[in-house]
Amino acid sequence: MTASNQVLVVAEHDHGSIRTATLNTVAAALQCGAEVHVLVAGHDAAGASKAAAAINGVSRVLHADAPHLANGLAENVAAQVVALAASYGHILFPATSAGKNVAPRVAALLDVAQVSEVVRVLGTDTFQRPIYAGNALVTVQSSDPVKVLTVRVTGFDAVAAEGGAAQIETIDAVADSGLSTFVERLVAKNDRPDLGDAQIVVSGGRALGSSEKFAEVLTPLADKLGAALGASRAAVDAGFAPNDWQVGQTGKIVAPQLYVACGISGAIQHLAGMKDSKVIVAINKDPEAPIFAIADYALEADLFAAVPELVAALG
């Protein structure tokens, strides 16, 4: 096996398990080269390595364990990746906040150009990625010796989390760079599915008018459907919904089985974050609302009447 057909996926994990985005990234990796390895850089992360070894299509897991890798500090994780880079033709990260934090550092340290938000692999050096908020796709050919990619997870169906039997190899952790120190992690508590992983998303726009109305009108629908809650940027900027609910170009990119957009106009920046959803339901009182152009089910109605009716109908 030569470096050019070995692919390294940098896993996103919580030390005990692997995040779904890693499975989509492995799917992209399998299209880049013959042998896919996964790097689990963490601390006390044997559970994550075990889970990585079970991913279908992965042939080797590289496990680097050290206290200074515990919190995913970009400087240390990037150094760990760069230490391995000579053996690989491609290094892939999910295009999540964590992946986007590390990948540019790796690319810069290797003096190569990063290809961002890849949605299709057309060949080992040729990739498609969206531009202009997803309104156009550009085909990029990279002549760099190692391709550093971030993978838009909605572009690739996740490989199975089970069925693989990769070998786990413990590797030396790089030294602490000392460039950054972990201070504190504040995680929003949420009983709902994570917005990025949810099968169903109920999303609200400016039309809701207040955070109280979000809770009163949209939460019961999300509860009935077992859905994550999302929001347009206008709703977030107005303080109706928390920041981490924002869907769109400057928020999260989602592609659930079902996306229910309530009182959202459908600006291109919002569509950029949800147009790959399998089924889109839009409730809007304006028949000209752009969201209707991409909706599979368009309900022209006042959401304050239609959503409670829907909740009642769901029983």
205 binds ligand FAD (CB under 6 A): yes
Token code pair at residue 214: 């979000």
Decide: is 277 part of the binding site for ligand FAD (CB under 6 A).
no
Calculate Rg over the CA atoms of the chain: 21
221-260 binders of ligand FAD (CB under 6 A): 232-235, 246-251
Minimum distance from CB of 266 to ligand FAD (Å)?
7
Strand arrangement, sheet containing 147-151: 114-118, 147-151, 90-94, 6-10, 35-42, 58-65, 167-171
**Residue 105 CB partners (closer than 8 Å, separation 6+):** 74, 75, 78
Provide the minimum distance between the beta carbon of 251 and ligand FAD in the complex, in angstroms, as a whole number. 4
The two beta strands, 126-131 and 35-42, are unpaired
Report if residue 146 touches ligand FAD, rule: CB under 6 A. Answer: no
Residue 263 found at the interface with ligand FAD (CB under 6 A) = yes
Spatial contact of 283 and 303, defined as CB atoms under 8 Å apart: yes
Stretch that binds ligand FAD, among 18-26, 119-127, 168-176, 281-289 (CB under 6 A): 281-289
> Does position 284 bind ligand FAD by CB under 6 A?
yes
Q: Which residue is nearest to ligand FAD (CB)?
A: 248
d(CA 95, CA 174): 24
Q: CA distances (Å), 143 to each of 3, 111, 113, 235, in order?
A: 15, 12, 9, 43
Residue with smaller CB distance to ligand FAD, 107 or 198: 198
Binding to ligand FAD by CB under 6 A, coded x per residue (else -) over 166-195, reads ------------------------------
**14, 286, 296, 309: which one binds ligand FAD (CB under 6 A):** 286
* CA 228 and chain centroid, separation: 15
CB nearer ligand FAD, residue 29 or residue 283 = 283
The SS3 of residue 164 is coil
Contact between 289 and ligand FAD per CB under 6 A: yes
Is 130 among the residues that bind ligand FAD (CB under 6 A)? no
Shortest CB 133 distance to ligand FAD, Å: 7
154 is an interface residue for ligand FAD by CB under 6 A: no
Decide if residue 267 touches ligand FAD (CB under 6 A).
yes
Pairing of strands 90-94, 167-171: unpaired
Nearer to ligand FAD, 24 or 284 (CB): 284
Answer for which of 60, 192, 206, 224 binds ligand FAD (CB under 6 A) is 206
Give the separation between CA 71 and CA 185, rounded to whole angstroms: 9
* Residue 304 in the binding site for ligand FAD (CB under 6 A): yes
Asked if residues 152 and 253 have their Cβ atoms less than 8 Å apart, the reply is yes
* C-beta neighbour count of 32 within 10 angstroms: 25
| Angle CA 139–145–151, to nearest 5 | 45
With CB under 6 A as the rule, give the number of residues binding ligand FAD. Answer: 28
> Residue 201 or residue 234: which is nearer to ligand FAD going by CB?
234
Interface ranges with ligand FAD (CB under 6 A): 205-207, 232-235, 246-251, 263-265, 267, 269-270, 273, 283-286, 289, 302-304
